[in-house]
Amino acid sequence: MNIDLIPAPVRAGDQGRCGFLLDASTTLAAAPGTGTTERWLRETLGAAFGVPLAPGGEGAEHSVRLLIDPALEPEEYRLTTLPGNSVVITGGSPAGVFWGAQTLRQLLGPQAFRRAPAGGAAPAALGFTDIEDRPRFGWRGMMLDVSRHFLPKADVLRYLDLLAAHKLNVFHFHLTDDQGWRVEIKRYPRLTEVGAWRSRTKYGHRASELWDETPHGGYYTQDDIREIVAYAAEQHIRVVPEIDIPGHSQAAISAYPELGNTDVVDTAALTVWDTWGVNPNVLAPTDHTLRFFEGVFEEILELFPAATSPFVHIGGDECPKDQWKQSPAAQARIKELGLAGEDELQSWFIRHFDNWLTARGRRLIGWDEILEGGLADGAAVSSWRGYAGGIAAAEAGHDVVMCPEQQVYLDHRQHGGPDEPMPIGYVRTLEDVYRFEPVPPALGEEAARHVLGAQANVWTEVMQNRSRVDYQVFPRLAAFAEVAWSALPAPADRDFAEFEGRMATHYGRLDALGVDYRPPGGPLPWQRRPGVLGRPIEGAPPNV
Ligand code: ACM
């Protein structure tokens, strides 16, 4: 039997006599604590096969049984078929049970990924199966940038489904940037009244001459956010909200001009940015700015509870220091605080929010620039400019999420051919992502323990809608998921051909889910964007 699981499990035995048949008589016996998976199985398998999965007793034949065994690691599970057409999933915690159920769905074939039976409710079968599985990393993430292009709530919920289907458990939600503020903050309504939309948008790379003259925007109400967070929790996904400061802040400054360096630029004349790149309009290092963002974070902490959002991301990337150099007010601040210069001013800014978040029981995480001028105590780092920041941080005892742009930025083109839509950055194929190694060999054993895991990042400058996001993300997210979950050998020893063989089945699952992935043979005609300038680069950062 070829079970073609992605990500690959630790061990899968398929010898034996008893299989499992899912049909209208199959019951679902859910032990206490397994309610999320019970609901999810009814919603997904119940709908796909048109079966009720009625509640059943533990010893019943024809059943799916869900159990918790605390002797297993929290995200570990066992999935075993039993005599009597039954299957039992035992997890070390509710999360482990849920990952086991995701495996069951894959085992039941691509039709298990549909919302209703295609061609009549049919029974689904699996042969004898005995799977033992656990993740390599506790942080298996994807970052989605909903600022550059807004993704409606329904698309965000769908992405949570897609993460869960690949056993990914962290959703890094990039909610603010120069091009749009996407979360309702009750005490500052202009953040969304003004900051959530722009009148036009650069179409393609910033050097492109094309503009999309359609107004673009959107934001999530606080109830939308609560729904997204609750939906993620149902799927055992933690959400890391990101409010990017002190750079990438033009949308906020255009809503509240006093947040900017008013002694350097006429911030009242700024609008939400309509093009791409690193923006010079950064926050002013004033007490007013600190109080303002404390107000923002107060609402963020309320929307993203500690249980499912222990980490809060404060960005910290790409903050040009030019305005601080020119600003008498910023220079006076540097003097008053006894700082060595603008880098230390950035560090002071980050430390302020590190202390503020720590006092409220949360942990700060930021892009690796937060290392400049001294890393805040207890802060964790998203290492994006390669491995170096992550290595330095881990060696200094800080926790790290590895997401180097050279390997796992999914906005980068996935083929060197002329048909890639709006090609940006490096060529990073499915195989390249499959050979990504989150723990660089240079790290000693002690420092390596600080690598919490890995994350694929999806920046959406050239992704105007869900379909474009799908194209960039898939199939590469499947390879990334296997890297983050499965205990793969060293990159050069990974059997990519074997993975590709399993992908043949996985494409059928993605088809059933309606994912607009890049086909192995290249983009379909309607996935191309002829004439829209990208910025293909060999060997240099893309800096879109
Ligand atoms: C980043 O890509 N600027 C984190």
CB of 409 within 6 A of ligand 1: the answer is no
Q: Give residue-wise pLDDT tens across range 24-62.
A: 999 999 999 999 999 999 999 999 999 999 999 877 889
- Tell me how far apart the alpha carbons of residues 130 and 132 are, in angstroms, rounded to a whole number: 7
Q: What is the mean pLDDT of residues 370-399?
A: 90
Residues 6+ apart with CB under 8 A from 440: 387, 390, 391
Whose C-alpha lies nearest to ligand 1, atom 2? 384
| pLDDT tens for each residue of 128-144 | 899 999 999 999 999 99
* Structural domains of the chain, with CATH: 11-133 (3.30.379.10), 139-527 (3.20.20.80)
Share of the chain above pLDDT 90, in %: 91
Find the DSSP H helices in 91-243.
Answer: 94-107, 153-165, 190-193, 222-234
Tokens of 213: 């003259």
Measured in angstroms, how far is the CA atom of residue 317 from the centroid of ligand 1? 6
The answer to whether residues 217 and 198 touch, using CB atoms and an 8 Å cutoff, is yes
Query: Is the per-residue pLDDT at 501 higher than 90?
Result: yes
Average pLDDT over residues 261-275: 98
Q: What is the per-residue pLDDT for 329?
A: 98
pLDDT digits (tens, 9 = 90+) for 174-232: 999 999 999 999 999 999 999 999 999 999 999 999 999 999 999 999 999 999 999 99
pLDDT at 121: 67
Phi, psi torsion values for 242, nearest 5 degrees:
-120, 125
Output the pLDDT for position 539. 61
Q: Please tell me the predicted confidence (pLDDT) of residue 537.
A: 76
Catalytic residue among 166, 172, 248, 313: 248
- Report which ligand 1 atom has the smallest distance to the Cα of 459: 2
The whole-number pLDDT of residue 1 equals 43
| 317 Cβ closer than 6 Å to some ligand 1 atom | yes
Tell me the pLDDT band of 506, cut-offs 50, 70 and 90: very high
Taking CA atoms, 171 is separated from 123, 238, 296, 475, in Å, by: 34, 6, 20, 18
Please indicate whether residue 178, judged by its CB atom, sits closer than 6 Å to ligand 1: no
Stretch 350-363: mean pLDDT: 95
- On whether the CB atoms of residues 363 and 378 are closer than 8 A, the answer is yes
CB atoms near residue 444 (< 10 Å):
10
Residue 365 CA, ligand 1 centroid: distance in Å: 13
> Mind listing the pLDDT tens digit for each residue in 139-174?
999 999 999 999 999 999 999 999 999 999 999 999
